[in-house]
Amino acid sequence: MDTTLHDPLVGQVLDGRYRVDARIAVGGMATVYRAVDTRLDRVLALKVMHPGLAADATFVERFIREAKSVARLAHPNVVGVFDQGAQGQYVYLAMEYIAGCTLRDVLRERGALQPRAALDILEPVLAALGAAHRAGFVHRDMKPENVLIGDDGRVKVADFGLVRAVDAVTSTTGSVLGTVSYLAPEQIEHGTADTRADVYACGVVLYEMLTGAKPHGGDTPAQILYAHLHEGMPAPSAAVPGLAVELDALVASATAREPDARPHDAVALLARTRVAREALDDEQLDAVPPGSRSTAGGAGPEDRTSVIPRAATTPVTPVGVPLPADAAGSDSVHRTSRLIMPRGVAEEEPQPVARRTSRRRFDGRRGLIALVSALLVVLGVGAGVWYINSGQFTRVPALIGQSEDAAKQKLSGAGLDLKKVDRQFSDTVERGQVISTDPATGARIRGNGAVTLIVSRGPETAQVPKLDGMPLDRAKDELGKAGFAPGDTTSEYSDSVARGAVIRTDPAAGVKRHTDTAVALVVSKGAPVDMPGVVGDTVDDATAALQSAGLKVTVAPDQVNSEQAAGKVAAQSAPEHARLTQGDTVTLTVSKGPKMVAVPKVTGQSAGDAQKALEAAGFKVKVDRGFPFLSDEVASQSVAAGAQAPEGSTVTITTKGL
């Protein structure tokens, strides 16, 4: 597949300097292009952050941190960064173009390596990390995918995207940065990492090179993490009998579960690695692991990571970097600083031990070149490049024309994450279906990468559908299908539209509006009902009257005293002549008869005092003044003092006359 198709950057010149010739790799955070520096006329790689991430300050900060960190190292075993910049939405790194493959490719095709080859790869890796550690950085994501082996045998460490300062706080919340098979226990348990976390990862990589397999397996990442936390690292010789005990000890030292038991940084581990190498004879160094594959064979196509063909390479002049050695290993490790050089570059005035090591490394480098060359032949391609964080790639499945839900399920089934959903207008793609994806269909992407779905919003304008008389739920569904959003819902009485159905919309049916516009709905409350008066009726008569009016009836569980006779309706929840809706519920309260109250004695009192006393007892009062009016004194009362009378009934008092 031609990955340069439809890529807007190919053919452009960034910052007036970097001509983008071809896209060569795609990752979850960035795309890598082969480019030419038109000022210096050299081929390089441009690592360009995905435009969707360029608006995220966190990603940009991490991207720029990678550039600054690697630029400060300037080590021959680190993929060099020449420049960093931005043009519009494109944030980029200009990087060294490496021709070759990754250690993961080698392990996948070869299986276990001879100890000499494993050490020939490990030592320059430790030299690179040692320079980083002594410069104050921690890589935090060491693994075979990030070890590049050039077609000239040079070994380089790539992808410092997770790098942090040694003295910075590196804890994380809710997640662990790195790759599960190479995480140190403290990274898993506490989310923290210092130089000893890189040492642990290198020990795991060495185990994998010596045995052809990871030390801890499991059906899920959680099982692997648990093993790193609670199980000791197995000895390589348990998987490959005959390996020297010095190699077992080297792996055990680097992968101790307690950070304090490991070499404190890559420089210290490099010193121990050299001591272990010196203790091995040629037979032990060149022992062929049982069951290892030759370069004539290879893994199946589904297991391969293809190496991108290169168009050109630019020789890189090796630069030696002074790197202190650790004095804790043995007398063969000198306390004075020495130059760590790329393979095949002679060291200045080597000591006798160093000379023997150098000769072995030179032989190992020739073997490494042969191994890489054979691997590239097996893969059926020329030399290539690798700059992306993970070597496990898949391709974006075909999702165009599928519903959003179906596309999400298919992404999940392919092991890919959904990055986000963008919605765009389309006159040709039905609303809710996928228009396109980013990356595009068939694009190579990391196995744990994320894909953006571009989903159709339908046409940009549409007619408001006719919803009159339609039930509310169905009307909302029809609005959604037409591309509109349900707006405010209000209710009003209607003699012609059934209760719960739409009377009209605003905007009205047939009016054109932009899709996603909110459409207000007016829903029928049904025909209005004039509330009848049923107080004083029997419960049965009141219920019949209310039901015939289209109302529902409930009876309150508790009865009350009232002036109504026992068993009659004492109260109704809606007043007489109130406007109700058909189907509304009216609650009836039943009387248990009036409350009987003792009548107080009021004769001999003034009419005013007598009236107050009777009203306080719960009675109504009528005053009958004697004729001719002679005095305001009460002469008699209609209900004798002390007699029981219904609360609320009327007591008549009469004042003195002739």
Residues tagged active-site:
141
What's the CA gap between 121 and 115, in Å, rounded?
10
What's the CA gap between 199 and 195, in Å, rounded?
7
Cross-strand partners of 30: 49
Three state DSSP letters for 106-133: HHHHHCCCCHHHHHHHHHHHHHHHHHHH
How crowded is residue 131: how many other Cβ atoms within 10 Å of its Cβ? Answer: 24
What's the CA gap between 341 and 131, in Å, rounded?
12
Q: How far out from the chain centre does Cα 478 lie?
A: 32
Element (H, E) at 103: helix 103-110
Contact, 598 vs 640, CB < 8 A? no
The dihedrals phi and psi of 68, each to the nearest 5 degrees, come to -65, -40
**Token pair of 176 as six digits:** 């662990």
Contact, 25 vs 466, CB < 8 A? no
How crowded is residue 41: how many other Cβ atoms within 10 Å of its Cβ? Answer: 8
Name the nearest CA neighbour of 524 among 467, 469, 477, 453: 469
What's the CA gap between 577 and 187, in Å, rounded?
76
Q: How far out from the chain centre does Cα 615 lie?
A: 74
Which residues of 189-320 form beta strands (DSSP E)?
none
Q: Hey, what's the torsion of the CAs at 241, 247, 248, 250, to 10 degrees?
A: -170
Contacts 24+ apart (CB under 8 A), 494-498: 494/524, 494/525, 494/526, 494/527, 495/527, 495/528, 497/468, 497/469, 497/524, 498/469, 498/524, 498/526
Residue 254: helix, strand or coil by DSSP? helix
DSSP 384: B
What's the CA gap between 324 and 638, in Å, rounded?
121
Cross-strand partners of 102: 148
Contact, 384 vs 309, CB < 8 A? yes
**Token pair of 133 as six digits:** 């550690």
What's the CA gap between 523 and 468, in Å, rounded?
9
